[in-house]
Amino acid sequence: MTQGLERFSISRRGLFGMAAGFTAVIGLAACGSSNDSSSSSSTSSVGGDSDPKAIAVDAYVFGYPLVLMDTTRTTAAPTNTLMRYSTTPTPDDKTIVSPNVDTLYAQAWLDLSAEPMVIQMPTMPDRYWLVQVQDAWSNTVNDPSSMHPKLADGAPAGPFTYVLTGPGWSGQLPTGTTRLEVPTPTSWVIVRMAVNNAADHDAVVALQDQIKLMPLSAWNTNPDTPTPSAAPQDPTANSAKEVDAMDGPTFFAKLNALMVKNPPASADADAVKRFATIGIAPGGTVKGIDTATLNDAVSTAKQQISSYQNPKAKLVNDWAYATNLGTYGTDYPLRANTALIGLGANLAADAIYPMMLNVPATTNGTPRRLRVHFAPGQLPPVDAFWSLTAYTADRFLVPNPDNIHSIGHQIPVTLNPDGSADLTLQSANPGSEVPQGNWLPIPDTGTLNLALRLYAPKQAAADGTWQPPALNQIN
Low-confidence stretches of the chain (pLDDT beneath 70): 1-48, 475
Q: What is the pLDDT of residue 293?
A: 98
pTM of the model: 0.90
Pairing of the two strands 362-363 and 366-367: antiparallel
| β partners of residue 329 | 41
Q: What is the pLDDT of residue 11?
A: 36
Q: What is the pLDDT of residue 43?
A: 41
* Beta strands across the sheet bearing 186-194: 83-85, 103-111, 186-194, 129-134, 140-142
pLDDT tens digits, residue range 174-198?
999 999 999 999 999 999 999 998 8
SS (H, E, C) 353-393: CCEEEEEECEECCEECCEEEEECCCCCCCEEEEEEEEEECC
Pairing of the two strands 421-425 and 439-440: parallel
In single-letter form, the type of residue at position 140 comes to T
Query: How many whole angstroms separate alpha carbon 367 and alpha carbon 443?
Result: 8
Q: What is the pLDDT of residue 29?
A: 40
Residue 322: closest CA among 351, 361, 280: 351
Q: What is the pLDDT of residue 10?
A: 35
| β partners of residue 191 | 106, 131
pLDDT tens digits, residue range 213-222?
999 999 999 9
Q: What is the pLDDT of residue 328?
A: 98
Q: What is the pLDDT of residue 1?
A: 32
| ∠ Cα 146 149 151 (to 5°) | 155
Residues 6+ apart with CB under 8 A from 329: 40, 41, 42, 267
